[in-house]
Amino acid sequence: MFGCMLMAISYWLLERFNKENLKGVLNIIIALLSFASVLSPISMSLPLDIKNPELFSGLAVPMHFFPALAFFCLVPFFKGNKS
């Protein structure tokens, strides 16, 4: 939720200051931050006495991509017409 709010505020600021040509750069930054956030769950080592510890990273990694994916999919629906 926090990540989507940051992305929405960033897009709003770009539109407010008429810097729409920088949206591609912002999209690349968001994608890079999503990939960088994956490093934490991948590098985490869980104790072996937990049932199926190898599945933790497999379940946690996709959660780092869902905010960016949801935002990139929903932004075109909320883009207002400029008159």
pLDDT tens figures, 2-49: 877 888 898 888 888 888 788 889 889 988 988 888 888 778 777 767
pLDDT at residue number 82:
56
Report whether pLDDT(55) > 80. no
Q: Are 10 and 26 a contacting pair, CB within 8 Å?
A: yes
Which ranges constitute the DSSP H helices of the chain? 2-16, 23-43, 55-74
Question: Cα–Cα distance between 43 and 39 in angstroms, integer?
Answer: 6
Confidence of residue 83 (pLDDT cuts 50, 70, 90): very low
| Total residues found in the chain within this entry | 83
pTM of the predicted structure, to 2 decimals = 0.70
Distances (CA, A) of 65 to 3, 18, 62, 71: 10, 28, 5, 10
pLDDT at residue number 64:
83
